[in-house]
């Protein structure tokens, strides 16, 4: 590209040069280099709960959602509609139409309560499940939590060609020539929003995938997250293998870890390639000679020196000083012989430290010798700074000293950790035993294809949130709800306060859709929606796993692996279930949608405590100490509002309804130390501005 710019600069005709430069700039804005796919493919979403009105953009319920019309007028149950291609207007029964949002259309979302489970009334921690198309839900989450999310875990559709996901409300199968482009286009739109959710200073995106799209996904992630450190691991999820005609039997899949900012990969008691290693308490000392190209003598000139041993009994005598290039080797003290750093393939290597550091470590017993030999040398090892710190912290225990004065050490109970490997092969990660069977026990008779092992998800999260007890975790391909289940398990391990937000659509299976359609039902009808993923699988699993029983009220059997925690005990947790709805912009600006927006404001304030509700009407003010939030609807009562807040110092977030910027600034300054938002301007501006930005 730089070369092309240079060539354009050599064009003498200024008018021609400007025209070519403009054309080139347009090309550079398009994806013509790197991962290429049809990113212009349209994406539309049917909004079944939005009434069809004059001016609405609609599509036919039984047609292609991407074929849209604009409603010109409605009379006697018939809607006169203008096709998007400006062809002749046509008339349809209103009942056959559904309001449709095209990608990039401004939307004004809200959260409609569908239920809640409260198994920890004394806790202010509330998880949330949102039933929605995840793109629009991500737009809402960006308004709520931009830059505040610690971890996103997603298990997107794998695009196997088995009609396991939809684009424009149609199942995508292996015969679709745009299958990969549609998948990439779908993922790119959502990952761009996901990136804006993640904390740029310290966060992680975790994405699972199989061999059908892992190459495309890897390239896409590298394009969208060039500043991040990315690794892909392979994990065994089905040791028996999935038989495929004339192919290798598939036993594993992949996980991408996109690690952002100053993240920390926490070590655990598993190396992931083998089972739990915490029972082995032995401490591995580090070898004293350096290795690799960085260990060569010229790279570490101050670490090339002799170590002397007594001739009579091979005991340690002393350490010499560094010998630099061009200097003669010193003569060993009387009665001793020297051990030098190793020589491999004619190249001299160095020790791991300078003489002064060696003397210090030897003095405290942190140097250990093997059996020295004048002819064969001596194996030498040492305790690292990190291991010495673990001794101070009590994670490594000194049990004595050997005959040479070296420390004898062992890991304290449950304190041994190891660096996780890029190949995972743990029995607990088997998807059948700890995914399918777990769901089968909680919601017997209700099937969900290919659920993840709860322990596989918990392990993936643990590496990044173990030391973040208040982490905010998002899953916008929630499926059966394994992520929230895993977060509750992590919180139970260490009394954490991690919060999980899940998003899933409410699609029914293809077979069920055909059956329901034959019976005259459509999406949006209760008979249809009650069989959707969110209501039939995800929410029941969430409720039952928290309360410790199956959908029939019977106590769950068995215990969680590694903790002996009975599943029947459930979890001290709470969760709220919402459906994403959409509001009229004009009504919002006039303050006529306060009741509908209250749950959204609750989430923006941190989803602390039980979601508040109000009856009809708009109160002048709401003081909600249990939610650590307050709302002023009548600015004329600000003085009284401020007095109330002074008596509730735990309230952190304030929403002020006012059309006047200067008034809002003045009230915010008077509430110094509080986080304030101007309603409804903050809400409306966000979705109007972001509609254009998100369409690019």
The mean pLDDT of 178-183, rounded to a whole number, is: 84
Q: Where residue 536 sits, what CATH number does that domain have?
A: 3.40.50.150
The mean pLDDT of 648-653, rounded to a whole number, is: 95
Exposed/middle/buried for 93, CB within 10 Å: 0-12, 13-18, 19+? exposed
What is the C-alpha separation between 629 and 623, in angstroms, rounded? 7
For residue 547, give Cα distances in angstroms to 113, 117, 217, 529, 644. Answer: 20, 8, 37, 24, 37
The mean pLDDT of 442-464, rounded to a whole number, is: 93
Domain boundary among 523, 543, 571: 571
Lookup result for tokens 């709960």? 49
What is the C-alpha separation between 425 and 406, in angstroms, rounded? 36
Number of domains into which the chain is organized? 5
Angle, vertex CA 117, rays to CA 111 and CA 118, nearest 5: 115
What is the C-alpha separation between 133 and 47, in angstroms, rounded? 9
216 within some domain: yes
pLDDT-derived band of residue 1, with 50, 70 and 90 as boundaries? low
Do 551 and 437 lie in a common domain? yes
The mean pLDDT of 95-124, rounded to a whole number, is: 91
pLDDT-derived band of residue 696, with 50, 70 and 90 as boundaries? very low
Do 49 and 26 lie in a common domain? no
For residue 633, give Cα distances in angstroms to 109, 310, 594, 660, 685. Answer: 20, 87, 9, 13, 18
The answer to whether residue 19 scores a pLDDT higher than 50 is yes
422 within some domain: no
pLDDT tens digit sequence for 466-488: 999 999 999 999 999 999 999 99
The mean pLDDT of 669-684, rounded to a whole number, is: 93
Share of the chain above pLDDT 70, in %: 93
The answer to whether residue 145 scores a pLDDT higher than 60 is yes
pLDDT of residue 351: 96
Q: Which residues pair with 678 in a beta bridge?
A: 656
pLDDT of residue 475: 98
548 within some domain: yes
DSSP state of 410: E
Do 440 and 542 lie in a common domain? yes
60 is in which domain, residue-wise? 44-102
- How high is the mean pLDDT of the chain? 90
For 293-349, the three-class secondary structure string (H helix, E strand, C coil) is: HHHEHHHCHHHCCCEEEECCCCCEEEECCCCCCCCCCCCCCCCEEEECCCEECCEEE
- Please, are residues 184 and 39 in contact by the beta-carbon 8 Å criterion? yes
DSSP-derived 3-state class of residue 81: strand
- Contact residues for 584 (Cβ-Cβ < 8 A; gap 6+): 108, 593
Do 199 and 132 lie in a common domain? yes
Torsion of CA 590, 592, 595, 601, to 10 degrees: -10
Q: Tokens at residue 444, please?
A: 């017997």
DSSP-derived 3-state class of residue 4: helix
Do 453 and 364 lie in a common domain? no
Domain boundary among 411, 443, 461: 411
**Residue 458 dihedral angles phi and psi, to the nearest 5°:** -60, -40
Residue closest to 287 by CA, chosen among 348, 338, 351: 351
Do 63 and 133 lie in a common domain? no
The mean pLDDT of 223-234, rounded to a whole number, is: 96
- Please, are residues 565 and 577 in contact by the beta-carbon 8 Å criterion? no
192 within some domain: yes
Exposed/middle/buried for 583, CB within 10 Å: 0-12, 13-18, 19+? buried
pLDDT of residue 685: 87
- Please, are residues 21 and 27 in contact by the beta-carbon 8 Å criterion? no
pLDDT tens digit sequence for 314-366: 999 999 999 999 999 999 999 999 999 999 888 999 999 999 999 999 999 99
CA 244 to the chain's CA centroid: 31
What Rg value do the Cα atoms of the chain yield, rounded?
32
Top-confidence residue, 244 or 56: 56
What is the C-alpha separation between 39 and 61, in angstroms, rounded? 25
The mean pLDDT of 257-262, rounded to a whole number, is: 97
The answer to whether residue 278 scores a pLDDT higher than 80 is no
Top-confidence residue, 25 or 114: 114
Do 437 and 552 lie in a common domain? yes
Exposed/middle/buried for 228, CB within 10 Å: 0-12, 13-18, 19+? buried
DSSP per residue, 36-77: ---TT---EEEETTSPP-TT-EEEETTS-TTS-EEEEEEETT
Q: Where residue 63 sits, what CATH number does that domain have?
A: 2.30.30.30
For residue 118, give Cα distances in angstroms to 68, 127, 132, 438. Answer: 42, 10, 22, 22
240 within some domain: no
79 within some domain: yes
pLDDT tens digit sequence for 518-556: 888 878 888 889 999 999 999 999 999 999 999 999 999
Do 620 and 565 lie in a common domain? no
Q: Tokens at residue 363, please?
A: 């003095």
Most confident residue range from 50-64, 98-112, 263-277, 401-415: 50-64
What is the C-alpha separation between 392 and 576, in angstroms, rounded? 44
The answer to whether residue 160 scores a pLDDT higher than 90 is no
402 within some domain: yes
The answer to whether residue 558 scores a pLDDT higher than 70 is yes
Contacts 24+ apart (CB under 8 A), 283-286: 283/383, 283/387, 283/396, 283/409, 283/410, 283/411, 285/368, 285/381, 285/382, 285/383, 286/352, 286/381, 286/382, 286/383, 286/384
Least confident of 28-42, 407-421, 566-580, 618-632: 28-42
């Amino acid at each position: 590209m730089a070369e092309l710019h240079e060539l354009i600069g050599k064009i003498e005709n200024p008018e021609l040069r400007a025209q070519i430069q403009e054309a080139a700039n347009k090309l550079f804005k398009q994806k013509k280099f790197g991962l290429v796919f049809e990113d212009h493919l349209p994406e539309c979403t049917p909004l079944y709960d939005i009434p069809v009105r004059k001016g609405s953009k609609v599509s036919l319920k039984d047609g292609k959602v991407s074929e849209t019309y604009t409603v010109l007028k409605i009379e006697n149950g018939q809607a006169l509609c203008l096709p998007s291609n400006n062809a002749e207007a046509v008339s349809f029964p209103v009942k056959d139409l559904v309001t449709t949002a095209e990608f990039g259309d401004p939307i004004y979302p809200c959260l409609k309560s569908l239920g809640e489970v409260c198994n920890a009334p004394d806790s202010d921690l509330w998880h949330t499940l949102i039933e929605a198309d995840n793109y629009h839900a991500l737009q809402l989450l960006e308004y709520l939590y931009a830059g505040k999310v610690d971890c996103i875990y997603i298990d997107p559709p794998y695009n196997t060609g088995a009609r396991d996901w939809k684009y424009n409300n149609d199942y995508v199968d292996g015969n679709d020539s745009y299958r990969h482009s549609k998948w990439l286009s779908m993922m790119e739109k959502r990952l761009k929003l996901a990136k804006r959710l993640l904390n740029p200073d310290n966060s992680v995106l975790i994405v699972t995938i199989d061999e059908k799209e892992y190459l495309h996904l890897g390239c896409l992630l590298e394009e969208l997250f060039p500043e991040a450190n990315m690794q892909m691991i392979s994990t065994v999820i089905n040791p028996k293998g999935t038989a495929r005609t004339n192919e290798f039997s598939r036993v594993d899949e992949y996980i991408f870890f996109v690690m952002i900012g100053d993240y920390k990969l926490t070590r655990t008691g598993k190396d992931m390639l083998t089972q739990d290693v915490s029972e082995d308490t032995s401490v591995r000392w580090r070898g004293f000679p350096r290795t690799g190209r960085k260990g060569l003598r010229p790279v570490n000139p101050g670490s090339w020196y002799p170590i002397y041993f007594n001739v009579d009994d091979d005991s340690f005598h002393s350490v010499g000083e560094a010998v630099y290039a061009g200097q003669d080797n010193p003569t060993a003290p009387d009665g001793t012989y020297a051990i030098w750093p190793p020589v491999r393939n004619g190249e001299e290597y160095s020790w791991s430290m300078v003489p002064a550091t060696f003397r210090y470590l030897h003095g405290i017993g942190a140097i250990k010798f093997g059996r020295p030999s004048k002819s064969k040398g001596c194996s030498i090892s040492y305790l690292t700074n990190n291991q010495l710190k673990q001794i101070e912290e009590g994670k490594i225990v000194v049990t004595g000293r050997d005959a040479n004065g070296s420390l004898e050490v062992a890991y304290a109970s449950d304190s041994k950790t190891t660096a996780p490997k890029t190949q995972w092969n743990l029995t607990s990660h088997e998807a059948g035993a700890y995914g399918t069977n777990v769901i089968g026990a909680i919601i017997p008779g209700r099937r969900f294809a290919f659920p993840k092992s709860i322990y596989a998800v918990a392990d993936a999260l643990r590496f990044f949130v173990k030391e973040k007890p208040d982490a905010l975790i998002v899953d916008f391909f929630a499926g059966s709800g394994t992520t929230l289940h895993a977060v509750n398990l992590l919180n139970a391990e260490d009394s954490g306060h991690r919060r999980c937000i899940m998003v899933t659509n409410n699609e029914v299976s293809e077979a069920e859709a055909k059956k329901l359609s034959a019976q005259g039902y459509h999406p949006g009808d209760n008979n249809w929606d009650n069989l959707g993923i969110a209501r039939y699988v995800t929410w029941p699993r969430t409720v039952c796993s928290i309360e410790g029983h199956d959908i029939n009220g019977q106590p769950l059997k068995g215990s969680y692996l590694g903790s002996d925690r009975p599943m029947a005990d459930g979890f001290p947790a709470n969760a709220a279930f919402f459906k994403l709805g959409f509001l009229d912009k004009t009504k919002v600006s006039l303050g006529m949608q306060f009741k509908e927006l209250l749950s959204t404001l609750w989430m923006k304030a941190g989803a602390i405590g039980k979601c508040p509700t109000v009856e009809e009407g708009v109160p002048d003010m709401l003081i909600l100490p249990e939610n650590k939030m307050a709302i002023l609807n009548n600015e004329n009562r600000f003085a009284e509002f401020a007095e109330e807040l002074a008596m509730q110092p735990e309230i952190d977030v304030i929403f002020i309804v006012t059309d006047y910027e200067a008034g809002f600034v003045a009230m915010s300054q008077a509430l110094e130390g509080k986080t304030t938002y101007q309603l409804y301007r903050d809400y409306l501006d966000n979705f109007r501005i972001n509609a254009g930005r998100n369409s690019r």
